[in-house]
Amino acid sequence: MPPEWSIEATSSAEDDFTYLKRRQRRVRQHVRNRVFPALLANPRLGEELQRELAGVWSYHFWNARYRLAYTLDESDQDHPKIVVLAIGLKDGFYKDLAERLGVGGDENGEAEAPASRE
């Protein structure tokens, strides 16, 4: 039987979650009741990002208006973790995420969003 995944959040992701608690409670409840269980069931459900955000996954939710960025920590095979890095509205999300992680963007300072699956 494969090991069960757990979810952890960075301090900045905790701040994002606190903001949702104060400002957008329904979105926060959706994250807790739908997004987290979906990711625990299938951690690779999101899209793996490219370039300077390689190794980071992005899950789109709430009619694709919001993003949740995370990494998969499989260093302890018995206790793998989903590490949430950021939660927020899609506008400017990847640029803010790149800045938060201290990685560069393209020549315009913008991080690359994932390619569309369409």
Q: Write the pLDDT tens digit of every residue in 52-89.
A: 999 999 999 999 999 999 999 999 999 999 999 999 99
Sequence ranges of the domains in the chain: 6-101
Comparing CA positions, the residue from 98, 116, 117, 114 lying closest to residue 106 is: 98
What fold characterizes domain 6-101? YaeB-like fold (3.30.2310)
The pLDDT assigned to 107 comes to: 41
Give the dihedral of Cα atoms 100, 52, 38, 24; nearest 10 deg. Answer: 30
pTM for the model stands at 0.85
Q: Which residue has the higher pLDDT, 86 or 117?
A: 86
